[in-house]
Amino acid sequence: MKWRGRRESRNIEDRRGRSKTRAAGGIGGVGLVAVLVVAYFLGIDVTPLLQDQGDGRNMAPAQMTQADKDAGQFVSVTLADTEEVWAHVFQDQLGRPYSPATLVLFKAATNSPCGGASGASGPFYCPADKKAYLDTDFFVTLERHLGAKGDFAAAYVVAHEIAHHVQNELGILARANEVRAQVSQADSNAVSVRVELQADCFAGIWAGAAQEKFGTIERGDLEEAINAARKIGDDTLQRNAGQRPNPHSFTHGTSAQRARWFVTGYQSGSLGSCDTFSTNDL
């Protein structure tokens, strides 16, 4: 992905380098909420990655390495691309303006209206403040622990979180959560799967439009994004955790489904093609 030297977004809230306080006694309270939020919005089983959160004392400000700075610039450029793409899609397909999300960069820990977040909990979108949260160290986890290599795999993660913001702007998240609160756990999981697969499809729309509009996608980039989608399928995550895949517990879709919906969005470029709620063929 050609990203160096390109326009960066102004909608970045960089909390890296700030001093932080860790909660005593390990994960709990808002930390547990963060895990649940990530499990719902991103599709990654982060529980095995969770570590002791410290003894309640203040931490020193996080040190910013060159790798941190590069990652922040990469995210900012990717976010800028999503803003241009979705502004065009909203105007062209819906006849209305797009209100972009803010993306919060943090290191080790931060807070949100949806609960606390740690570096172990992964990126997530919080509808309450319309912000996406990302510890850029997660890109290392994505490559080393989840097997999703490449800068476009990382771009897919950003695009997926912004896709949840698109869903929020369209009123989809609110309606989905209303339904989930009124049905059984199994049915709630099924709704969650459709939410996640639609976000993958929206991420595909972004990828296709970015290629057409900016010409920044290079050979192998698309395969990196598809591989990332496959690596975070429920069936793959459960197998990697030594479990037998249990479809009734899926909340994000299988590897095949996630990859297929991403490709659907990429090839069609149409919001209508991403209607995962009406189809019986996920």
Q: For 146-157, how does the pLDDT look when each residue is reduced to its tens digit (9 = 90+)?
A: 888 888 999 999
Inter-axis angle of helices 151-169 and 66-89, to 10 degrees?
A: 40
Strand ranges of the sheet holding 124-126, from the earlier edge strand across to the other edge:
12-14, 102-106, 131-135, 124-126
Count of Cβ atoms closer than 10 Å to residue 130 Cβ: 15
Size of the chain in residues: 282
| pLDDT for residue 61 | 55
- Lowest mean per-residue pLDDT among 13-17, 48-52, 101-105, 196-200: 48-52
CA dist., res. 225 & res. 54, Å (int): 34
Residue 44, token pair as written in the block: 């990654």
Looking at residues 268-277, what average pLDDT do you find? 97
The whole-angstrom separation of Cα 166 and Cα 168 is 5
CA dist., res. 117 & res. 121, Å (int): 6
Higher pLDDT, 67 or 256: 256
> Mind listing the pLDDT tens digit for each residue in 162-212?
999 999 999 999 999 999 999 999 999 999 999 999 999 999 999 999 999
Q: CA 188, 189, 190, 196: dihedral to nearest 10 degrees?
A: 110
Q: Is the pLDDT of residue 73 over 80?
A: yes
- Grade residue 141 by pLDDT with cuts at 50, 70 and 90: confident
Rounded CA-CA distance 13/193 in Å is: 29
Residue 60 in this model has a pLDDT that exceeds 90: no
Asked whether the predicted pLDDT for residue 43 surpasses 50, the reply is no
Q: Give the pLDDT confidence of 89-133 residue by residue, as tens digits.
A: 999 999 999 999 999 999 888 888 988 776 666 788 999 999 999
- Retrieve residue 129's tokens: 């403040």
Cα-flanking dihedrals φ and ψ of residue 20, to 5°?
A: -135, 160
More confident residue, 18 or 102: 102
CB 69 within 8 A of CB 158: no
Report whether pLDDT(35) > 70.
no
Average pLDDT, whole number, for the chain?
A: 83
Q: Angle 79-80-84 (CA atoms, 0-180°, nearest 5)?
A: 115
| pLDDT at residue 52 in the model | 36
Q: 26 pLDDT exceeds 60?
A: no
Q: Give the C-alpha separation, 256 to 274, whole Å.
A: 16
For residue 20, pLDDT over 70 is answered with no
Distance between CA atoms of residues 158 and 113, nearest Å: 20
**In the chain, what percentage of residues exceed pLDDT 90?**
56
Check residue 62 and give its pLDDT.
60
Does the pTM of the predicted model rise above 0.85?
no
